Amino acid sequence: MQNTDKDMLCDELLSQTISASETEAAADEDCQSDELFEHFSIVVDKGQSLLRLDKFLVCRLENTSRNRIQAAADGGNVLVNGRPAKSSYKVKPLDRISIVMPYPRRELEIIPENIPLDILYEDDDVLVVDKEAGMVVHPGFGNYTGTLVNALTFHLQHLPMFREGDMRAGLVHRIDKNTSGLLVVAKNERAHVDLAKQFFDHTIYRRYVALVWGNIEEDEGTITGNIGRNPKDRLQMWVFADGSDGKHAVTHFRVLRRYGYVTLVECRLETGRTHQIRVHFAWQGHPLFNDERYGGDRILKGTTFMKYKQFIENCFRAMPRHALHARALGFVHPATRKEVMFDSELPDDFRALLSKWETYTAAASGGREPLDEVEL
């Protein structure tokens, strides 16, 4: 049996007795990040002889083609000793190599579905969609149809990236099924690589609006705590305050409106971990309103009066999901290199929920500033 091109490259590598130290950081795991890219760091062994960078990496990284590595290098996403390097760079002993790439293609039978999408912006490189609550971003267990990727595959079926059965075609980040709001999608490999690097560098601007239980004392602040899988419940994420597990996560917030028993906050993400806003605020004792996974679907603050209980149940019916909306998204356009910014208005269910709280607190306080006059 003949070797594949990659096998022959690796045989060549081994015949030259070339080796490298173990990879320091493996790819960001799917279950611990909403950002769909992977990052590797490698320190080259002292016995390394000169070899092209792309040939070296194709043997060091599993399930990674030479084309993916070359695309990453062309986009400036392969750094050697902190500086962008070309594929032709000759690897030297003790070089420190860092590479960021979109996740590799995962094949699945993607059925193009003519699902309406609220597209705020589209050009030859990117598409910005305002996702409605209830839509899963990409196919997975129990959700093989009706996802954003199924809709994108139909809408963009003329593009090579969306004809190959890739369950993550064009995606560099995602938001939860029941979170509404903005997502950027790459329409070609160049844009895909560029956006992945921006997410990795934390230069993407993301602003969320959330309604949380309790009256947050500070007008603004920062929540920092490693996030990983809950060891006792695999469906939940967990904050490892001592840093013993999980991945570094930072959420900045400021208060927009106080309703006494609940607080409307704006959140700015510095990192993008799975359920980050939801788990960070739950950890602080302020779970998102009606967040069933983290205990926000119970009456956590307020009175024992029957009328209040009925009021909360009406609020839950008005917004039968956790109260979180991806309000703003900004990035550097992969082609024009200009900063672009997009905003999404609060959806009807979120507006209806806030209107109920406005009415409730106005009755208690004798009137207050209309919600429309509050900067969101």
The span from the CA of 267 to the CA of 256, in Å, is 10
State the sign of the Cα–Cα–Cα–Cα dihedral 69, 76, 185, 133.
Answer: positive
CA gyration radius, the chain: 23
Distance CA 88, CA 45 (A): 19
Parallel, antiparallel, or unpaired: how do β-strands 324-332 and 180-186 relate?
A: parallel
End-to-end CA distance of the chain: 64
Which of 32, 301, 373, 344 is CA-nearest to residue 179? Answer: 344
Identify whether the C-beta of residue 347 lies closer than 8 Å to the C-beta of residue 133. yes
Residue indicated by tokens 């205990």: 295
H-type alpha helices, the chain: 5-15, 53-60, 66-74, 148-155, 189-200, 276-283, 306-318, 348-365
What is the full DSSP assignment across 56-92?
HHHHHSTT--HHHHHHHHHTT-EEETTEE--TT-EE-
Identified catalytic residue from 176, 194, 291, 349: 176
Structure tokens at 334: 């992969």
28 given a catalytic annotation: no
Residues whose CB falls within 8 Å of the CB of residue 144, separated by 6 or more in sequence, listed in order? 108, 111
- Give bridge partners of residue 238 from the DSSP assignment: 228
Distances in Å between the Cα of 33 and the Cα atoms of 61, 67, 227, 259, 295 are 20, 25, 9, 32, 22
Q: Centre a 10 Å sphere on the Cβ of residue 361 and count the other Cβ atoms it contains.
A: 18
- Selection from 273, 253, 272 nearest residue 264 by Cα: 253
- The single residue listed with the structure tokens 């788990």 is 279
Give catalytic residue positions: 176
